[in-house]
Amino acid sequence: MVKAAAREGWIDEKRIVTENLIAMKRAGANIIITYHALDMAKWLNE
């Protein structure tokens, strides 16, 4: 849904994905498995 909404221009994908991953970590996740891993790695290296 995030990818589709970003493609339509309804949301900023980078901001939404980053907030989702940070929220999971804040909630206590030790490991996060996500479809957004490659995108996040690219954004972190920018």
Task: Quickly list DSSP for 5-29.
Answer: HHHHTSS-HHHHHHHHHHHHHHTT-
Give me 37's structure tokens.
């891993």
- Alpha-carbon distance of 34 to 9, in angstroms, equals 22
- Alpha-carbon distance of 41 to 46, in angstroms, equals 9
Q: pLDDT tens, 1-46? A: 999 999 999 999 999 999 999 999 999 999 999 999 999 999 999 9
For the entire predicted model, the pTM comes to: 0.82
- Domain spans of the chain? 2-44
pLDDT at 46: 92
CA proximity to 18, closest of 4, 10, 44, 29: 44
pLDDT at 7: 97
18 near 43, Cβ under 8 Å? yes
pLDDT at 9: 97
